[in-house]
């Protein structure tokens, strides 16, 4: 039996009709949000990271029925609203195979929002602590850290 679930995805109110036990990841992908990737299906790799009411989650670990009324943000939204972050990742060569990148983008955007609110300088340790749920097998993470730090610096100067 299908159930209606009301959500806002990337700023657009939407009604989804979902199967019992459908994963949020599958619902998003079925509805065209293929920027959300499945890397492990077990909440281990972070490729399917989305922001749910301002907190990052692995969308493979949520049932769509659980997120009734939620505000969901994917990498496509971040691309539109935080192009400086995308520029920084791209300019630092922090993108290789790219499969983890949309998840990294959502998690990094979330971190940047938090640090902009507190207006503090973002250190390597804080970046690592907030990005540890996103596995990347290509870059060795160094360029990802550099890119996020640079994006944070830029935002700090703008605020």
Partner 1 sequence: MKFDVVGTSPVRLDAYDKATGKSRYTDDEPLPGVLYGAIAFSPVSHGLLKSVDVSKAKALPGVVKVMVAADLGDKYANNIGAVRADQPLLAYDHLRWRGDRLAIIAAESPEIARKAASLVTAEIEELPVIHTSEEALAEGAPKLHEMGNLADSMCIRHGDVEKAFSESPIILDNRYVVGYQDHAYLEPNSVVAIPGADGSLLLRGSMQAPFYVQGALAKVLKKPMSKIRVQQATTGGGFGGKEDYPNEPSAVASVLAFETGRPVKVIYNREEDLAYSTKRHSMIIEHKLAAKEDGTITAIKVKAICDAGAYLGISSIVAERANASATGPYRSPNVQVDTLVVYTNNAFGGAFRGFGAPQVTFALERQMDLLAEKVGVDPVEIRRRNTFSAGEISPLGDVVEADVNAMRVLELAAKKTPILKELKKGKEAHIKRGIGLAAVRYGVGLHAGGQRLEGSGALVQVNIDGSVRVNIGGAELGQGAFTAMAIIAAETLGVSYGRIYVGEADTMLVPDSGPTVASRTTVMSGNAVKDGCLIMKERLLKCAAADTGRKAGELDIKGDALIDKKSGEIIMDFATLANKAYCAKVNLVANGWYAPDRKIWNKEVGQGQSYTTYAHAVMVAEVAVDTITGQVHVEKMHAIHDVGQAIHHKGIEAQIEGGVVQGMGWAIMEELVIKDGKMLNPNFTDYIIPTIQDIPEIKITLLERPYKNGPYGAKGIGEPSLIPVAAAIGNAVANALKKPVMELPMNPERIKLNLLNK
Rounded to an integer, what distance in angstroms lies between the CA atom of residue 137 and that of residue 55? 24
Of 4 and 44, CB closest to partner 1:
44
Applying CB under 8 A, the residues found at the interface with partner 1 are: 29, 34-42, 44-45, 47, 74-76, 79, 86, 89-102, 105, 127-129, 131-132, 134-145
CB of 159 to partner 1, least distance (A): 23
Provide the minimum distance between the beta carbon of 75 and partner 1 in the complex, in angstroms, as a whole number: 4
Tell me how far, at minimum, the Cβ of 15 lies from partner 1, in Å. Answer: 21
Among 21, 59, 67, 69, CA closest to 39: 59
Q: Is 100 exposed, middle or buried (0-12, 13-18, 19+ CB in 10 A)?
A: buried
CB nearer to partner 1: pick between 71 and 141:
141
Measure Cα distances from 142 to 25, 94, 95 in Å: 28, 8, 11
């Amino acid at each position: 039996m299908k159930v209606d679930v009301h959500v806002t995805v990337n700023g657009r109110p939407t009604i989804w009709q979902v199967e019992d036990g459908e994963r949020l990841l599958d619902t998003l992908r079925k509805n065209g949000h293929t920027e959300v990737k499945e890397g492990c299906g077990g909440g281990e790799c972070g490729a399917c990271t989305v922001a749910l009411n301002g907190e990052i989650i692995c969308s493979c670990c949520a049932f769509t029925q659980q997120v009734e009324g939620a505000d969901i943000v994917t990498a496509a939204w971040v691309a539109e609203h935080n192009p400086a972050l995308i520029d920084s990742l791209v300019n630092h060569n922090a993108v290789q195979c790219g499969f983890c990148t949309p998840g990294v983008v959502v998690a990094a955007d979330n971190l940047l929002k938090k640090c902009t609110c507190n207006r503090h300088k973002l250190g390597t340790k804080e970046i690592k602590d907030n990005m540890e749920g996103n596995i990347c097998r290509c870059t060795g993470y160094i360029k990802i850290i550099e890119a996020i730090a640079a994006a944070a610096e830029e935002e700090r100067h703008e605020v």
